[in-house]
Structure 1
Amino acid sequence: MGYYLYVTADLENLTNFQPNGGVDDPNFTYYFKLKCGNCGTVTEKATCVSLNETGPQSKKCKVCEREGTVTMFPGKGKPLTAEISEKGRY
C-alpha cells in the first residue's frame, strides 16, 4: 500500500512553495511521525527520509513489532503554486 503526501497552504505574496533546491532536491530531509497500520501506535520520534537514500527504510513498530518501509520517489513532486492554492487544491 502506498501513500502520497499532499501539502496545502494559503499563499500570501508567494507564487511557488517548495524546498529550496526544488521538489526533487536529493538533500532535502523530510521528517515524519509514522503510525503503525496494525496497532495504531505513533512513533515518538520523527523518521528522517530524503530522496538521496538508496532504497526503502525499514521500520519496526515498538509495540506489535510489525515491519513497514518508507521510500521516497523522485519525479513525483511538484511545487504548490498560487493558482493551485487559490483553488483549494494540493
Structure 2
Amino acid sequence: MVKIALQIKATLECIESLYTNHPHYQWFLKLKCSNCGEVAEKFTDLTEADKVPLKHNRSETNLAIKCKLCSRDNSMDVIEGSNGKYTNDDANKFKTLVIYDCRGVEPVDFEPKSGWIAEAEDNGKTFTDVDLSEKEWADYDEKNQVSVGVYELEWQFIKVK
C-alpha cells in the first residue's frame, strides 16, 4: 500500500479558493501497474462516493482494476477527508488536493475535466462546475464586477507517508 498525493499549482485571478465537488468529483487518472510497469492507454475515473466490491474479499474500494498485461488485480481508494482547497495564498506553489491509497497501481497523469468549484474574492460569486480540461478557465464576477480566472494549471504526484 502506497499513499500518493495529487498536488496542483495555478495562477488565480480574483479567486479566493479552488476545490472539487468532493466526494462526488470524478478523478480521471492514467495508471501504471506497479508489478509489470504497464501504463494504461486510457484514463480511468474513480470517485470517493462510489464503492465496488473487491474480488475474493468482503471489503470495498473506490476502484478495482486488472492489469491488461500481467493480469494482476489492483485497487485504489481516495483517502477519506484528504481533499483540500487551493487558495490564493497557495498561488504559484504546489499544494496537495487529494491523497490516494494505491495497491498495485500508481497514477502517472491527471486530466482535470469539469466539476471544480471556484469562489471569487471579497465574498463574490461561487462558480460551480468549472471546467479545467484546458488547464485554464475565465469568467466574470458580476457581484464584484471583476474578471476571474484560473491559469497555468499544473500537477504532480508525490509519495506521502
For normalisation by structure 1, the TM-score amounts to 0.79
Gaps of 5+ in 1: none
Aligned-pair CA distance for 1:81 = 0.6
Match of 1:10 in 2: 11
Gaps of 5+ in 2: 52-59, 96-161
- Which of 79, 84, 88 lines up with 2:90 in the alignment? 84
- Identity, % of aligned pairs? 27
Kindly indicate whether residue 69 of structure 2 is the aligned counterpart of residue 68 of structure 1: no
Listed one character per residue, the Cα deviations across residues 57-79 of structure 1 (whole Å, up to 9, x for unaligned) are 22111112222211112311110
Deviations 1:20-54 (A, max 9, x none): x3xxx232211111011122211122111111122
- Name which one, 1 or 2, has greater alpha-carbon Rg: 2
> Aligned runs of 1:12-51 on 2, under 5 Å?
12-19=13-20, 21=21, 25-51=22-48
* Count of paired positions: 85
> In the aligned structure 1, how far is the partner of 2:69 from the partner of 2:33?
9
CA distance in 1, matches of 2:71, 2:84: 35
CA RMSD of aligned residues (A): 1.6
Moved beyond 6 Å, runs of 4+: none
